[in-house]
């Protein structure tokens, strides 16, 4: 490429960037208060739309001028709706408010924006000891993170392309267009970028294979078919910062030599589909998609395909079959998709997070990226941390951070003074690791050695009350239903595994069940065609290895140590703790199993009880009278007869 061509590309980008920065400076320099409201799915589900309406109504009623700025997810999903108020004239830094209901929104308009009181008690992270309002970046969820692909999440409006450009967006594309495809691939190779979809395959190796593949009309496909229970990283990125993924996709197309791109997004993500559709159209209108991108010789455009929600379509060949109009079922490889993929043409498929990592690498260099993480797993990892953890949500950390630091220091540890029991990593096909593995670094290889996997980034934390047999049953139930049925081992083997686990949770275990679980699990792993079947037994094998005593209790004693399996659990009321006249448990019972005794205390009719646990949830913490026990080991407190009131 000639020097004149490079200068023409840079000039075209600079003109767009100057215009976008001018709009941003006008917004940032405005003395008016700026109210940033998180509008990703987690925020909307918690009432962010109502909160936005309340702010707008209150501002209008009080005659206050302010900017109401909708943004994506900031990561504090447990605190939604999250609002950040930046009021320059107040003298305070930008303040983050959690759980902003419509009522709290009206209060903040009146007391803070009108009267100058920031309402210290409602500020997230404020403490009486330091009497200071912390800045947003002082929270542990931020100052312990290293944000690369989530850096703009919660800061920009995902439906306004100029906000992304003003923050440096599409600058990496302009840089890439001034290089050769081989140089771009070499930069990604030097950075050591590995696929963030689960397998950790070197991205540069896949791109080189795609570029070397013979044939025209090559495809670049972004795999956004995120189906792991509890995982929502890809969805949030598309809802919060879609243009970074689009930019990475265009760079990949330039490197591979593709002229056509496709987003494969599951239809269960309607907000992501809408925002992504808008972003693609904006990129097309401004000249980042189409013919002669930024005055270069690159022609590339993107379409969007909505998947029907089959978990197996996260596998490359099944995804391709789905797009082609067939039932999503994996096929034998080779040929690999980079050789013969969509419509028989060379197809490079990358995950959302992988493509979102490409622009920062080209912008800041391979050495910068190598300086984050570990030698074999450079960069960051994005996790959706859910389950029994104080601060669930999205976290982006450098590779190599230990599970202990992630769960306890960043996400606040286990709530309600419970003990940590296990963490399940890697989605339904990941492994369950015990407390002995808390000091394991989070990277591709260390997790694999421990028996788990990085997967796409789903992480489920479990406390002492979880039953590992029931956890295995839950994940096997998911993968068994999602099996396409093509492989005998996967179709029938997972069903047999699930049948055994169901019997164990009912207290109907048999001698030899544990040995059969291990044998079947290994057979399914070895005999299945795709990653779904090969990894489906992982929760069983790891929980058997690290929590075998729980399995033995189910088989030999018909007892659930975690008191979770319904058939092996009973709810009783401790009469010494039960308060006279308190009817909290009576009103919540859906089957009227709670009765009042002659001395006005309560009891539970075991013949009627459906073991829903509502009575335990309703019992006031000061009393804590409802106990959950194993019927085979009745405590003395519940052996006393309780007469029903006549």
Predicted confidence at residue 132, as pLDDT, reads 58
Q: Tokens for 80, please give them.
A: 């939604």
CA 11 to chain centre: 38
pLDDT in tens, 15-73: 999 999 999 999 999 999 999 999 999 999 999 999 999 999 999 999 999 999 999 99
| Mean pLDDT over the full length of the chain | 91
Residue 599 and residue 320: Cα distance in Å, rounded? 68
DSSP state of 316: H
* Confidence band of 633 (pLDDT split at 50, 70, 90): low
pLDDT in tens, 123-154: 887 655 545 566 555 665 677 889 999 999 99
Mean pLDDT, residues 532-548 taken together: 94
Q: Which of 177, 157, 176 is nearest to 167 (CA)?
A: 157
Quote the Cα angle for 534-539-542, to 5°: 105
Predicted confidence at residue 199, as pLDDT, reads 78
Predicted confidence at residue 92, as pLDDT, reads 85
pLDDT in tens, 408-466: 999 999 998 999 999 999 888 889 999 999 999 999 999 989 888 888 788 999 999 99
Residue at token pair 């069983």? 540
Mean pLDDT, residues 197-224 taken together: 93
Predicted confidence at residue 643, as pLDDT, reads 44
**Integer CA distances (angstroms), 465 to 422, 433, 468, 553, in order:** 11, 16, 10, 15
pLDDT in tens, 382-410: 999 999 999 999 999 999 999 999 999 99
Predicted confidence at residue 644, as pLDDT, reads 46
Q: Tokens for 512, please give them.
A: 């030899």
Contacts with 69 (C-beta within 8 Å, 6 or more apart), sequence order: 34, 35, 36, 37, 157
Mean pLDDT, residues 103-115 taken together: 96
- Taking a C-beta distance cutoff of 8 angstroms, is the pair 337, 347 a contact? yes
Predicted confidence at residue 585, as pLDDT, reads 93
Predicted confidence at residue 637, as pLDDT, reads 41
Residue 418 and residue 464: Cα distance in Å, rounded? 6
The count of other CB atoms within 10 Å of the CB of residue 86 is 18
- Print burial letters for 37-72: b (CB count within 10 Å at least 16), e (below 16): bbbbbbbbebbbbebbebbeebbeeeeeebeebbbb
pTM: 0.92
pLDDT surpassing 90 at residue 307: yes
Mean pLDDT, residues 278-286 taken together: 97
pLDDT surpassing 50 at residue 635: no
């Amino acid at each position: 490429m000639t020097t004149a061509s490079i200068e023409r590309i840079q000039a075209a980008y600079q003109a767009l960037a100057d215009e976008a920065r001018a709009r941003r400076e006008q917004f940032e320099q405005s003395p008016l208060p700026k109210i940033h409201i998180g509008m990703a799915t987690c925020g909307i589900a918690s009432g962010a739309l109502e909160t936005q309406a309340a702010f707008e109504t209150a501002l209008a009623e009080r005659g206050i001028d302010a900017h109401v700025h909708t943004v994506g997810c900031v990561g504090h999903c447990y605190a939604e709706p999250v609002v950040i108020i930046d009021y320059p004239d107040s003298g305070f830094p930008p303040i983050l408010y959690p759980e902003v209901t419509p009522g709290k929104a009206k209060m903040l308009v009146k007391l803070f924006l009108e009267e100058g009181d920031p309402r210290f008690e409602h500020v997230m992270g404020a403490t009486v000891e330091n009497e200071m309002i912390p800045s947003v970046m002082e929270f542990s969820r931020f100052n312990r993170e290293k944000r690369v692909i989530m850096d703009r999440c919660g800061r920009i409006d995902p439906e306004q392309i100029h906000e992304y450009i003003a923050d440096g967006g599409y600058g990496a594309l302009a840089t890439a267009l001034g290089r050769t495809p081989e140089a771009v691939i070499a930069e990604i190779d030097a950075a050591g970028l590995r696929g963030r979809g689960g397998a950790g395959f070197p991205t540069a190796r896949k791109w080189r294979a795609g570029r070397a593949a013979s044939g025209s009309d090559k495809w670049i496909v972004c795999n956004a078919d995120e189906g792991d229970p509890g995982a929502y990283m890809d969805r949030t990125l598309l809802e919060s910062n879609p243009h970074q993924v689009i930019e990475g996709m265009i760079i990949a197309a330039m490197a591979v030599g593709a002229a056509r791109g496709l987003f494969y997004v599951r239809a269960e993500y309607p907000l992501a589909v809408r925002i992504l559709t808008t972003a693609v159209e904006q990129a097309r209108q401004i000249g980042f998609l189409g013919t002669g991108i930024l005055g270069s010789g690159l022609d590339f455009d993107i379409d969007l395909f909505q998947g029907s929600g089959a978990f197996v379509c996260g596998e490359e060949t099944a995804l391709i079959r789905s797009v082609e109009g067939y039932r999503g079922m994996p096929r034998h490889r080779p040929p690999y998709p980079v050789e013969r993929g969509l419509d028989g043409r060379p197809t490079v498929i990358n995950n959302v997070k992988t493509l979102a990592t490409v622009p920062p690498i080209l912008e800041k260099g391979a050495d910068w990226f190598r300086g984050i993480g570990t030698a074999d797993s450079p960069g960051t990892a994005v996790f959706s941390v859910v389950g029994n953890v104080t601060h669930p949500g999205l976290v982006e950390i450098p590779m190599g951070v230990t599970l202990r630091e992630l769960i306890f220091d960043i996400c606040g540890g286990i709530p309600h003074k419970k003990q940590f029991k296990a963490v399940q990593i890697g989605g339904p096909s990941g492994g369950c690791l015990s407390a002995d593995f808390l000091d394991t670094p989070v990277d591709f290889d260390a997790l694999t050695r421990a028996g788990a996997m990085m997967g796409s980034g789903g992480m489920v934390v479990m406390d002492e009350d979880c039953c590992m047999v029931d956890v295995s049953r839950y994940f096997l139930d998911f993968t068994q239903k999602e099996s396409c049925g093509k492989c005998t081992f996967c179709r029938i083997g997972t069903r047999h595994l699930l049948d055994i686990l169901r019997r164990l949770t009912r207290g109907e275990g048999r001698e030899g069940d544990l040995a059969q679980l291990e044998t079947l699990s290994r057979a399914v792993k070895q005999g299945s065609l795709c990653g779904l079947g090969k990894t489906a037994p992982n929760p069983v094998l790891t929980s058997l290895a690290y929590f075998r005593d729980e399995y033995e209790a189910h088989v030999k004693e018909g007892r659930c140590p975690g008191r979770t399996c319904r058939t092996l659990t009973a709810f009783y009321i401790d009469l010494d703790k039960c308060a006279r006249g308190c009817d909290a448990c009576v009103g919540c019972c859906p089957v009227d199993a709670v009765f009042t005794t002659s001395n006005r205390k309560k009891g539970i009719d075991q013949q009627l009880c459906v073991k829903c646990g509502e009575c335990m949830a309703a019992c006031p913490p000061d009393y804590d009278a409802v106990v959950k026990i194993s019927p085979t080991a009745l405590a003395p407190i519940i052996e006393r007869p309780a007469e029903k009131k006549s």
